[in-house]
Structure 1
Amino acid sequence: MKSFLGFASYYRNHIKHFATVVFEITKERRDSYERIKHEVTNAPVLILPDFELRFELCLDSACSQGLGAPLHQRPIVDGEPREGVICYISRQLKD
């Protein structure tokens, strides 16, 4: 869960009331975890690809057990480039 929270924190400005969700493992807080996980993997964070824009793949290899990489683009929204995630990719590492 600690590695997930680090991952989710990267997208905190896309998740409404991110800072008010508490992250200790109890039934109530497990529900909070599931809510954050849902928000990170659904619109408005996820966008459709625009094949006229450059794709960015950001590899996270901080954990020795696996790799994660969101596929990003930066479409222009309200005159400013805004980061958007197209999909998430992950793989477990084996010895």
Structure 2
Amino acid sequence: MNEIFPEQRSEECLIISIDDIIFCSKTWEEHIYRLSRALSKIQSVNMKISLKKFHFVFKELKELGHLVCGLPLGIDKNKVSEVLLNPMPQSKEEIQLFLGFSGYYIQHIKDFASIEKPLYELCDKDTVFEMTVDRLKAYESLRQSLTTAPLLLMADFKLPFNLYID
């Protein structure tokens, strides 16, 4: 899919996940224009679309655990509440499940790697399962981060921006 829409990916708010395409637009006219371009491109490469999965205009929608609401991208609160209702992990396997879920939202959690480190170390096969104070703090910090995660905005590739890598 990325190869089919290279110019749209660099010029527009376009989210591609596996076989789904989501366009984010500020105005109705812009949305119709983007949709028209996408449908023309799909037709030109002989792709087919599923009318069952085709949704035309939404102010927000849930996609792969994310809440897409216009240009910002948020976390689906229903998914988070399911995890928050679970009791504290009692085994390495339960910690791994929690870290896997939390890691899916890594983009939304500032300093994720440093926060999850005590829990990640607990997953080592030679480590005895014990919820120390540091691990409890890490667990609670990740839970808190999931409930207060910021919305993410797509980069505007028409404007210059700096990329800093550590």
TM-score range, shorter chain: 0.3 to 0.5
| Bigger Rg over Cα | 2
The structure whose residues are more often helix, as a share, is 2
Q: Would you tell me which structure has more strand in proportion to its own residues?
A: 1
